[in-house]
Amino acid sequence: MPSMIHRKPALAALILTTGLGLAAISATHAATTTAAPATTANTTTAMTPAQKAIIAHVDARLATLKKSIGITTDEESSWHGFTQVSRTNALNLSAMYEQRAKTLATMNAVQNMESYAAISAKNADDMNALSASFQTLYSKLSPAQQKKIDAAFRAKAEAMTKKHLKKLKHS
C-alpha cells in the first residue's frame, strides 16, 4: 500500500497542472525561474518530506509553464494567485489521500465509498478554485499568449481524450 500513498500526491500534482491541458509542461522538472515566491520557501520548512516533494513537483511544472507562456511583470500578480491555488490544491488532495490511506484497512465498503466521494468532491471544489484563478490569469494574457495556451490546452485535451477512448475500446 505505501506505493499508493506516494503515487496519489504525485497524481494530484499532475492533475492540478497537466489536468489543465498543458502539453507544454512535460516531464522536465529541472526548469528554473522565479515561479515560486519567497513565501513558498518559508512555508515548506514546516512540511513533511512528502509535502515538500509535492510542492517541488508542482513548482517545477509551474516554472515550465511560466517560461512557455512568457509571464510578464504586469501578469505577475495574477500568476502568483494561480500558483498559490495550484500548490494549495496539491497539498489538499495529498492530505486527503494520506488520511484515506491511514484508515483504509478498517473501512467497510460504505466508508470506502464515502471516503472516495469526499476526495472527489474536494478535488472538484479545488478545480473550480483553480479554474477561477486561471480565468483571472488568462484575462491578463496578451492575445498571442492566449493563442499559445489555447493550442496547448487543446492538444493536451485531444491526447487525453484519445487515451481514454483507447482504454474504453480495450475494456
Kindly report, residue by residue over 32-49, the tens digit of the pLDDT: 233 333 344 445 568 889
- d(C-alpha 63, C-alpha 70), whole Å: 10
pLDDT (0 to 100) of residue 134: 97
6 Cβ neighbours under 8 A, 6+ residues apart: 50
Kindly report, residue by residue over 46-72, the tens digit of the pLDDT: 888 999 999 999 999 999 999 999 999
Give the CA-trace dihedral at 116, 119, 120, 122, to 10 degrees: 160
pLDDT (0 to 100) of residue 44: 53
| Residue 6 pLDDT > 50 | no
C-alpha cell, 20: 489543465
- State the residue for C-alpha cell 494520506: 98
Kindly report, residue by residue over 119-140, the tens digit of the pLDDT: 999 999 999 999 999 999 999 9
84 and 40 in contact (C-beta within 8 Å)?
Answer: no
Handedness of CA 13, 14, 15, 21 (dihedral sign): positive
- d(C-alpha 84, C-alpha 42), whole Å: 13
pTM over 0.85: no
pLDDT (0 to 100) of residue 76: 95
**Residue 79: enclosing H or E segment and its boundaries?**
helix 76-103
| Residue 13 pLDDT > 90 | no
Which ranges constitute the DSSP H helices of the chain?
2-18, 38-44, 49-69, 76-103, 109-140, 143-169
37 vs 21, 66, 100, 110, 117, CA distance in Å? 24, 13, 31, 42, 33
93 and 9 in contact (C-beta within 8 Å)?
Answer: yes
